[in-house]
Structure 1
């Protein structure tokens, strides 16, 4: 097929045909169709589809020559997000080598990286020179650095093979140069659609993180879902195409970013814009105008931070057509702020997990106006069920566990059959461990909390989300999270950790002010007994509150002196 025919093929790809492709298939077809089109925009520079494929092929060749090379095994990608081009080349290089990409947060400690390598029996690690050399010599004792040049950029990629817990330097890849020719057996190994492409690590709020396995065909199916469903529905069903620009503040190493935006952009043939290592509200809005962004995919926390600032020329000039939120609860107050700031954008709220990846339900249009906190209705071909503790279907309005089933979802947890059996039943349903209900009148799904997060305060049971919704409605607060803490009498007590609004337009609320605000809107049992004020909440790159870090923060803030209270 010629370039025009390939582009047309990709434009008309449905989810069944998508399931027969691999990620290397997808990028190679896109490169043949539009080789010089911009694939990635970033402050470090832009990259075309051809440049991306060449960079990934260089890394793939190096991996294939490693002594420990084994197809279908995990390779950790621990790459500095200061240059997202390096991140996506490394990730796709792993996929091209027929290994499994296991992307890691660039803020992890070396100890954590070693633990991940052990937990998934990784056969190699791709790391930025600067991330590695930032650690003390004694922490690097398992790493053999023989042959490593003392020169070079902190962003250069180093490839280490892993053998028995020891890390051996295989190669340094600088901008894809010097890739060895490899016409041997390993170069002919290509992944199949049913092979695992990606390990999506869970947050690990209860115990060690688990690694959800997403296949190559599943990744392409999920990208197709975003292009033709999640991003398309809010603008009248018009699929994403080459004329669009997707922008995301979600770091390039997060699995949801990889599937939901990066490979969705490959399928559509449009650029994806990543703005750098950490979220900068001003830079994000400037990029919307500079890039001509049409689709913005973020978490509620990202939008809330942008809305904290005054409306600027960039806000007014933005031509974004669709803004999607996910990863954390949406509030009515934030929805109204977004509508006022970006009146031309259609705002949509979607729901998924690492185990299911892209939007499985979507709330947009009149339903979003009706209740922006709801997460909508299933997107075809997703199946949705809400069941009670006995596994029986719940009637509309009754709360239970939310179950999802759709093409592209995880096929299991890597090296963890016991947890796989807990989460995927015999009929292919994924047990989300989220509780919720489908509205009697509107048919919209609403999430009430996590099964494990339910608070039992002296026998009165409820979920943190309903308290957090009220706290986030306080005009003097920019962010809020609720914790259940041990109590010798009640069993559990309730405290809130909040961030005051930076602009100060609504004063400086204190503990009594916030509690009184809650009393006017909640039953007495749901009012936090203490309010702790912090500069910011610990959130992941996708905007979710990191519970373990929040508990550690609360431990530090328990004394009145630490909290700045009299």
Structure 2
């Protein structure tokens, strides 16, 4: 299904509402505007398997661009607008984009990459002029609003967030079906368990270019609901949007939960959240204390999943299951979980190792990077793929994450997973944000260091350092606790809430 399906049955229903500006696209407008752009792309010579790129803030035009690509059999790469000029140029060139669409809100960035992306044939800008780009509205208005004769199914080709290195393009084979035929993985896996349908009002507080928001927003339109999209996340504004739009579904990341939980009690209780039926979270592991606090606040409506941009496998867990298995991310609903040791051998229950998902065939490849593609595959079973996460399966088949392999600390020959220490500090009232890393130690090889952004008004210094170390030691094994704490004004996080730990570690590796 796609917006054209609902343009015929509920043409005046809002498909998209921007939470801040109130800008709206009905299903008819979304269908007609994306059809115009689809005709333009075909007229420009793009055919099935070709690529376009989108560089924008969260904006209603993003949905027109997305669905124009999807109904044209094209790959669409939504580019992180917080990247540098060179990083954006790298992605545009690497994905092979023949057309770039940009928002005037990121105009200076879009202008800066023009000279660095010579293979782009067409550039269009919306919401205002951008040097080197044509006017989007003028360009599409000469094309018809009717559906193209052929609508082969396209796909996103997104780039990993680059938290551990240079972004990698995740390319999946295009499905051999038209855009209005069933079979899309996001629908097959998530629509029924999360109860997506025509009555869904889904609040998305995250950037459009990130895999989870983009794909779940497409799920809303594939099932006929309404997407309420925040221009940027603000905890109180999100609560207000839930009340104002009678939101039924939303998806947050744990960092957003922490921000909301730290609002003053009178703010947290100010808004009517009774319309909420499903609160989804993923993207990063959620500290147990944070999730318990959210369940106490919002009720048994939290649904967690574990997946990745690569979409090589998925687990799910609901509130009742999680309360019985605190800290778990659930059981597999897509793929079969295999936990393997460094030698590739499959490990027994409760043994920590690299997490692979077994599928009938490799579900993705890293674009133009066969070496990294091979590294993501099991040495003996190419259809078993991993994104580098580490964890274990319990006796009931529930998956528990420990950390990414690249971040594991080996201190005195003992493996320590930073996530466990970060979880212990996440809700400490004097901690605004925290990263835990391993730093060189002449005796132990590595020692545990916490890098903390203090809460507003909290004085950093030896007293706070001692308090935080003692706090961790009271909650987990002493050998896992930080030997030292450094204080910083801000930690590097992506707009989706992911900690860019490689940037934290780089300060100490130097």
TM bucket normalised to smaller: 0.7 to 0.9
In structure 1, the partner of 2:197 is 241
Q: How many residues align?
A: 493
Aligned to 1:172, which of 131, 135, 145?
135
C-alpha distance in 2 between matches for 1:471 and 1:90: 41
Structure 1, residues 356-393: CA drift from partner, whole Å, max 9, x if none? 17x811122332113432111122x5322222233333
What secondary structure does 2:161 align onto? coil
Report the Cα offset of residue 337 of structure 1: 1.9
Which residue of 60, 72, 75 maps to 2:49? 72
Structure 1 distance, partners of 2:490, 2:293, is 20
Change in 2 beyond 3 A, CA 1:443/1:180: closer
Q: Is the 8 A contact 1:223 1:263 kept in 2?
A: no
Aligned positions of 1:515-534 closer than 5 A: 515-534=469-488
> Aligned partners of 1:91, 1:135: CA distance in 2, in Å?
18
SS at match of 1:432: coil
Question: Does residue 14 of structure 2 align to residue 50 of structure 1?
Answer: no
Say if 2:243 and 2:272, in contact at 8 Å, map to a contact too. Answer: no
Equivalent in the alignment of 2:393: 438
Aligned twin of 1:327: 283
Contact 2:249 2:278 in 1 (8 A): yes
SS of equivalent to 2:485:
strand
Q: Distance in 1 between matches of 2:362 and 2:205?
A: 24
Measured against aligned partners, the alpha-carbon deviations of 1:61-117 in whole angstroms (never above 9, x if no partner) come to 3333336x3541221111122x2x111212222233332101111222322221112
2:373 alignment partner in structure 1: 420
- The equivalent of 1:393 in structure 2 is 346
Q: Where do residues 5-84 of structure 1 align in structure 2 (5 Å cutoff)?
A: 26-42=2-18, 43-44=20-21, 45-66=23-44, 69-81=46-58, 83=59
Is 2:127 the partner of 1:155?
A: yes
User: For 2:188 and 2:139, how far apart are their aligned partners in 1?
Assistant: 29
- 1:322 to partner: Cα distance: 1.6
C-alpha distance in structure 1 between counterparts of 2:140 and 2:368, whole Å: 35
Deviations 1:132-168 (A, max 9, x none): 346787x754589xxx99xx9973487x9xxxxxxx7
1:197 maps onto 2:145 in alignment: no
The offset of 1:539, in angstroms, is 1.9
Question: Which of 387, 411, 414 is matched with 2:364 structurally?
Answer: 411
Q: What residue in structure 2 maps to residue 7 of structure 1?
A: none
In the aligned structure 2, how far is the partner of 1:533 from the partner of 1:514?
12
Rounded Cα–Cα distance in structure 2 between residues aligned with 1:315 and 1:422 = 48
| 3-state SS of paired residue (1:201) | coil
Match of residue 492, structure 1, among 446, 455, 466 = 446
Secondary structure, in 3 states, of the residue corresponding to 2:275?
coil
2: distance between equivalents of 1:39 and 1:55?
13
Shift of 1:306: 1.0
What's the secondary structure of 1:376's corresponding residue? strand
Structure 1's 64 and 188: CA in aligned 2 closer, same or farther, altered over 3 A? Answer: same
Report SS of the residue matched to 2:157: strand
Q: Does 1:224 align with 2:196?
A: no
Q: Secondary structure of 1:28's partner?
A: helix
In structure 2, do the counterparts of structure 1 residues 189 and 111 end up closer, same or farther at CA, with 3 Å as the change threshold?
farther
2:102 alignment counterpart: 127
- Normalised by the size of structure 1, how large is the TM-score? 0.78
The residue number in structure 1 matching 2:178 is: none
SS at match of 1:386: strand
**Could you say what the CA RMSD is over the residues aligned between the two structures, in angstroms?**
3.4
Q: Distance in 2 between matches of 1:515 and 1:308?
A: 21
On the 8 A contact 2:89/2:117 being kept in 1, the answer is no
* C-alpha distance in structure 1 between counterparts of 2:140 and 2:191, whole Å: 33
Does structure 2 conserve the Cα–Cα contact (< 8 Å) formed by 1:79 and 1:157?
A: no
Residue number among 469, 489, 507 corresponding to 2:423 in the alignment:
469
Q: Is the 8 A contact 1:298 1:324 kept in 2?
A: yes
Say if 1:56 and 1:176, in contact at 8 Å, map to a contact too.
no
Please report how far the alpha carbon of residue 516 of structure 1 lies from its aligned counterpart in structure 2 after TM superposition: 1.4
User: Aligned partners of 2:423 and 2:409: how far apart in 1?
Assistant: 15
CA, structure 1 residues 154+365, in 2 after alignment: closer, same or farther (shift >3 Å)? closer
CA contact (8 A) 1:454 1:464 kept: yes
Structure 2 unpaired stretches of 5+: 176-181
- The counterpart of 1:91, out of the listed 59, 66, 88, is 66
TM-score, normalization by structure 2: 0.86
Residue of structure 2 equivalent to 1:234 = none
Distance 2:272 2:325 in 1: 26
Counterpart CA distance in 2 for 1:468 and 1:520 is: 14
